[in-house]
């Protein structure tokens, strides 16, 4: 059978992580040729949240229903305006937008997950077709709705044995027993940034604060003993902000360490859990992305504990891999191809998630 001609897609990916650093915007090109995907991040930037938006999103889960819905709509218009400015700045002609939104609730055991940022509002504001709400179908099918990035890892980053993202949470994906496996490992920046925020710092630049701290063995033992870490390896499991509030915040209160000792201890915890998740597997290359890849002290701790080769890629890949892959998930959705894997999430079957809101047609 003759090969189809290569197909091209130009997509803007939008991503807002749990650490509330800002909105990642990436204009990406994808080509499928002879069943093989290639990609390019043409241009990308992170727009830091104004204080008002950080505060709105940070406390949104505790508000009333009217406020929640109003913020959902307003946040969609805000994202649409960011896209409009981005398109004008770089003179772009995207086919559509793929927006992750910002997660407020993620409780797959209760069959719901909510990412704010109304797709209707985004499309209305910028006039571009918008794909969003990528997680809900999978959760409705009994899956975790997370992580979603592994489809992109499998199809775009096949040269690496493992794809490790160190964002608000650490998650990893890899091929195991002829299927894609992926799961959340532990919290990272959602905890460490909060500790830094409490002393007037945005984050621990390069791990400088952690590097001057001491490990508190009692805290480390309690962290590593949390029930989540006793779940079977290679099994679908995911974490959310609620889990951190319930399990990590009480330990912060209990031990009352200075920020340096807490950060030092938590870096060791992340390294130990990462090694535990991967060291039982054949040695290979780990591609590390996300903000945590810039934490040199944390990276050294992971290298010290793991048996694998740790690779930190170029700046665009570190910072915008998730936005890139959500753009790619949008492509798969528009092609009506599965963008969520049962082997990753535990859903009843592979599925094609995402709601589509049409932009201007003329």
**Signed CA dihedral, 279, 284, 290, 291: sign only:** positive
Give dist(CA 191, CA 117) in Å, integer.
24
Structure tokens at 33: 């040729």
Q: Give the pLDDT confidence of 61-94 residue by residue, as tens digits.
A: 999 999 999 999 999 999 999 999 999 999 999 9
The residues, ordered by sequence, that sit 6+ positions from 5 with a Cβ below 8 Å of its Cβ are: none
Nearest alpha carbon to residue 10 among 125, 105, 115, 95 = 95
Nearest alpha carbon to residue 267 among 305, 239, 229 = 305
The answer for 91, left when phi > 0, alpha when psi is -120 to 50, beta otherwise, is: left
Question: Which range (89-103, 225-239, 325-339) has the least confidence?
Answer: 225-239
In this structure, the answer to whether residues 236 and 212 fall within a common structural domain is yes
Q: What spatial distance separates the first Cα and last Cα of the chain, rounded to whole Å?
A: 37
**How is residue 30 annotated by DSSP?**
E
Strand partners, 24: 15, 46
Q: Report how many domains make up the chain.
A: 2
- Considering the domain boundaries, does residue 362 fall inside one? no
Cβ 244 vs Cβ 187: under 8 Å:
yes
Give dist(CA 145, CA 348) in Å, integer.
12
- Considering the domain boundaries, does residue 184 fall inside one? yes
- Considering the domain boundaries, does residue 94 fall inside one? yes
| CATH number of the domain enclosing 50 | 3.30.420.40
Give dist(CA 281, CA 234) in Å, integer.
10
* pLDDT interval class at 147 (50, 70, 90): confident
For 186, the 3-state DSSP assignment is strand
In this structure, the answer to whether residues 233 and 128 fall within a common structural domain is no
In this structure, the answer to whether residues 83 and 198 fall within a common structural domain is no
pLDDT score of 362: 65
Radius of gyration from C-alpha coordinates of the chain: 20
Q: Give the pLDDT confidence of 11-53 residue by residue, as tens digits.
A: 999 999 776 889 999 999 999 999 999 999 999 999 999 999 9
**Domain hosting residue 270, numbered range:** 162-307
- Considering the domain boundaries, does residue 156 fall inside one? no
In this structure, the answer to whether residues 185 and 278 fall within a common structural domain is yes
- Considering the domain boundaries, does residue 149 fall inside one? no
- Considering the domain boundaries, does residue 171 fall inside one? yes
Per-position b or e across 220-240, b if 16+ CB within 10 A of its CB: bebbeeeeebeeeebebbbbb
- Considering the domain boundaries, does residue 155 fall inside one? no
- Considering the domain boundaries, does residue 63 fall inside one? yes
In this structure, the answer to whether residues 176 and 278 fall within a common structural domain is yes
Backbone angles phi, psi at 189, to 5 degrees: -70, -25
In this structure, the answer to whether residues 38 and 100 fall within a common structural domain is yes
């Amino acid at each position: 059978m003759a090969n189809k001609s290569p197909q091209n897609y130009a997509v803007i990916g939008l991503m807002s992580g749990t650490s509330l650093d800002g909105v990642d915007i990436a204009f990406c090109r994808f080509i499928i040729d002879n069943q093989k995907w290639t990609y390019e991040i043409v241009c990308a930037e992170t727009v830091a949240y104004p204080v008002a938006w950080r505060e709105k999103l940070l406390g949104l889960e505790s508000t009333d229903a009217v406020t929640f819905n109003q913020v959902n709509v307003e946040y969609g218009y805000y994202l649409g305006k960011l896209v409009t400015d981005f398109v004008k700045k770089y003179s772009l002609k995207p086919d559509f937008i793929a927006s992750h939104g910002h997660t407020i609730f993620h409780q797959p055991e209760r069959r719901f997950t909510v990412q704010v940022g109304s797709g209707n509002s985004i499309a209305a504001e910028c006039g571009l077709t918008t794909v969003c709400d990528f997680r809900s179908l999978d959760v409705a099918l009994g899956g975790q709705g997370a992580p979603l990035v592994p489809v992109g890892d499998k199809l775009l980053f096949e040269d690496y044995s493992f794809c490790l993202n160190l964002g608000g949470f650490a998650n990893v994906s890899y091929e195991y027993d002829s299927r894609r496996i992926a799961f959340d490992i532990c919290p990272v920046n959602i905890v460490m940034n909060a500790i830094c925020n409490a002393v007037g710092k945005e984050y621990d630049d390069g791990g400088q604060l952690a590097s001057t701290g001491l490990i508190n063995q009692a805290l480390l033992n309690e962290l590593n003993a949390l029930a989540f870490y006793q779940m079977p390896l290679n099994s679908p499991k995911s974490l959310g902000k609620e889990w951190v509030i319930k399990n990590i915040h009480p330990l912060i209160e209990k031990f009352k360490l200075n920020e340096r000792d807490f950060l030092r201890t938590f870096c060791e915890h992340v390294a130990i859990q990462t090694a535990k998740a991967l060291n039982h597997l054949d040695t290979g290359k780990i591609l590390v992305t996300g903000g945590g890849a810039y934490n040199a002290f944390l990276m050294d701790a992971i290298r010290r504990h793991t048996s694998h080769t740790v690779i930190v890629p170029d700046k665009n890949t570190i910072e915008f891999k998730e936005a890139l892959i959500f753009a790619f998930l949008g492509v798969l959705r528009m092609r009506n191809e599965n963008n969520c894997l049962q082997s990753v999430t535990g859903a009843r079957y592979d599925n094609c998630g995402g709601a589509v809101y049409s932009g201007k047609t003329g």
